[in-house]
Amino acid sequence: MNKLIKAITGGSAIVPIVAIILGLLVGAIIMLIGGYDPILAYRSLINKVFGNPYDFGETLTAITPLIFTGLSVAFAFRTGLFNIGAEGQYIMGMTGATIIGVSVHLPWYIHAPLAVIVGALFGGFWGMIAGYLKAARGVNEVITTIMLNWIALHLANYIVNDYLLEPGKGRSYMIDESASVTIGWLSRLLEDARMHWGMLIALLAVVFFYVFLWRTKQGYELRVVGHNPDAAKYAGINVNRGVVKAMFISGVLAGLAGVFQVLGVFLNQAVSASHTGHGFDGIAVALLGGNNPVGVLLGAILFGSLSYGAAGMSFGADVPPEIIRIVIGTVIFFVAAPGIIRWIIKRRLPGKKSKGEVI
């Protein structure tokens, strides 16, 4: 198992596993301090995630957008960019999908793919703005993506309110049946959980991430740009175009998260007062997964399951769901600071000689 994970992620499985255990432990201690029953809480959590087909299906639904936004942030990281704007790109993805889903009417084999593509392009375009501003004007992408998140929120509300609104509903019209990407038979199998094709696309995106970045010419170029822009210039790679392209792809990935929320889960877009947090959670997922596609997938599964299961803890053990964010935070913390875990392991197993610290 360890070997397998090592082969996939290029790292040891010990650290993440110990990190998860420590995270849950910290959560348990905090629950005990608060006077809650951690065993009941975790049992409720597991029950919520695996207890029945419906919740299992919905857990997958919760995981899906996190895979996309996690990949988005990780992709940008890999190309030397810090994309805090997955949130905004997610919203723009939703908006693009909604526009097509609501306002054009086409046969399903065109409509759904078109909605997916337009939504993805919206997200990509939104990411590209930050990329362009960085490339052309040298504006730090961290600031622009933060600002663009807010602009996206309000812009999307404007578009929904003024062009797509179903009167009196506070949301857009429902998208056409032909644009939806739900999987009816699977939903029925899983007691009406909201299953959709986006889950499969998310897995494809993981593969795409890997193949594109490490197997293609363009991926190679983007990695050179990310790691050493000077060398990239010398090698004849257009750095500015690389930055724009990288942000575009990152935006497409985040946009797809929004696309499938609209086309597969909500089937409409609501006017929203605040951010959903999926984009920000994407940062955590990317970090949890070490900016590695398979890592992101595993990170999203962990993050999504814990988040979804939190409602179960709340229901079954009356534990405030906030506890789960502490657990997730702690897990990331220990993943990020493997030194601490090694230190702990060393204390625990003094006989075993630990391998020299990498410096």
Partner 1 sequence: MDLATIGNMLNTAFVFSTALILASLGGILSERSGIVNIGLEGLMTAGAFAAAVSAYHAQEAGFGSASPWIGLGAGALFGVLFALIHAVATISFRADQVVSGIVINFIAAGSTLYLVKLLFEGAGETSLVNEVFHKIQIPVLSDIPVLGEGLFTAYPTTYLALILVAVIYYTLYKTPFGLRLRAVGEHPSAADTVGIKVLRMRYTAVLLSGVLAGLGGATIALTTTGTFSHNTISGQGFIALAAVIFGKWNPLGALGAALFFGFAQSINNVLQLFDFSSHVPSEFIYMLPYVLTILVLVGAVGRSKAPGALGEPYFQGKR
Partner 2 sequence: MDKARTVVEMRNITKRFPGIVANDSVNFKLSQGEIHALLGENGAGKSTLMNILFGLYQPEEGEIFVNEQEVVIDGPNKAIKLGIGMVHQHFKLVHPFTVTENIILGSEPKLGFAVNYKQAHKEVERLSKQYGLNVDPYAKIDEISVGMQQRVEILKTLYRGADILIFDEPTAVLTPQEISELLEIMRNLVSQGKSIVLITHKLKEIMAIADTVTIVRRGKVIDSLPVAGTNPNQLAEKMVGREVSLKLDKKNAVLGEPALEVDRLVVKGRQGLNALNETSFVLKRGEILGIAGVEGNGQSELIEALTGLRPVSSGSIKISNMEIAGATPRTISEAGISLIPEDRHKHGLVLDFPVRENMVLETYYTPQFNKRGFMDFDAIDKHAERLVKEFDVRTPSIMTEARALSGGNQQKAIIAREVDKNPDVLIAAQPTRGLDVGAIEFIHKRLVEQRNMGKAVLLISYELEEILQLSDRIAVIYEGRIVGEVNPAETNDQELGLMMTNYKQSQGGPSSEQTD
Partner 3 sequence: GAKNNNTGGASPSESASGDTSGKDFKFAMVTDVGGVNDKSFNQSAWEGLQHLEKDTGTKVKYLESKEATNYLTNINQFVRDKYNLTWGIGFLMGDAVKEAAAKNPDAKLAIIDNVVEAPNVASITFAENEGSYLVGVVAGLTTKTNKIGFVGGIDIPVIKRFELGFVAGVKAVNPDAKVIINYTGAFDKADLGKAAAASIYNDGADIIFHAAGGTGNGVFNEAKERLKAGKKVWVIGVDKDQSLEFGDEVTLTSMLKRVDEAVYRVSKEMIDGKFPAGVITTLGLKENAVGLPETSTKNVSKEILDKVEEYKAKIISGEIKVPTAQ
| Cα-Cα-Cα-Cα dihedral sign, residues 294, 282, 187, 181 | negative
Quote the radius of gyration of the chain (alpha carbons, Å): 21
DSSP string across 25-40:
HHHHHHHHHTT--HHH
Residues 6+ apart with CB under 8 A from 242: 79, 221, 222, 225, 232
Write down the least CB distance from residue 211 to partner 2, Å.
Answer: 8
| Contacting partner 1 within 276-305 (CB under 8 A) | 283-284, 287
Burial class (CB in 10 A: 0-12, 13-18, 19+), 120: buried
Q: Which does 329 bind (CB under 5 to 8 A by kind): partner 1, partner 3, partner 2, none?
A: partner 1
**What's the rounded Cα separation, in Å, for the pair 321 and 309?**
9
**What's the rounded Cα separation, in Å, for the pair 64 and 285?**
12
CA distances from 145 to 78, 132, 141, 270, 300 (A): 17, 12, 6, 22, 22
Q: Out of 21, 39, 235, 344, name the contact with partner 2 by CB under 8 A.
A: 235
Indicate the residue among 92 and 244 with the shorter CB distance to partner 3.
92
Indicate the residue among 87 and 221 with the shorter CB distance to partner 2.
221
- Helix (H) or strand (E) run with residue 329 in it: helix 323-336
Q: Which stretch binds partner 2 (CB under 8 A): 183-191, 198-206, 226-234, 244-252?
A: 226-234
Buried b (16+ CB within 10 A) or exposed e, 223-256: bbbbeebeebeeeebebeebbbbbbbbbbbbbbb
**What's the rounded Cα separation, in Å, for the pair 85 and 280?**
8
Q: Which does 265 bind (CB under 5 to 8 A by kind): partner 1, partner 3, partner 2, none?
A: partner 3
Write down the least CB distance from residue 12 to partner 3, Å.
Answer: 33
Q: Which does 107 bind (CB under 5 to 8 A by kind): partner 2, partner 3, partner 1, none?
A: none
| Contacting partner 1 within 160-179 (CB under 8 A) | 161-162
Residue 74 within binding range of partner 2, rule CB under 8 A: no
Write down the least CB distance from residue 318 to partner 1, Å.
Answer: 9
| Contacting partner 1 within 68-87 (CB under 8 A) | 82, 84
**What's the rounded Cα separation, in Å, for the pair 147 and 142?**
9
Total residue count of the chain as it appears in this document:
359
Indicate the residue among 128 and 335 with the shorter CB distance to partner 1.
335
Write down the least CB distance from residue 357 to partner 1, Å.
Answer: 9
Residue 274 within binding range of partner 1, rule CB under 8 A: yes
Strand partners, 172: 165
Q: Out of 99, 239, 247, 332, name the contact with partner 1 by CB under 8 A.
A: 332
Residues at the contact surface with partner 2, assessed by CB under 8 A: 214-218, 220-221, 223-224, 227-228, 230-231, 233-236, 356
Q: Which residues bind partner 1 (CB under 8 A)?
A: 30, 34-35, 82, 84, 133, 137-140, 142-144, 146-148, 150-151, 154-155, 157-158, 161-162, 274, 283-284, 287, 320, 322-326, 328-330, 332-333, 335-337, 339-340, 343, 359
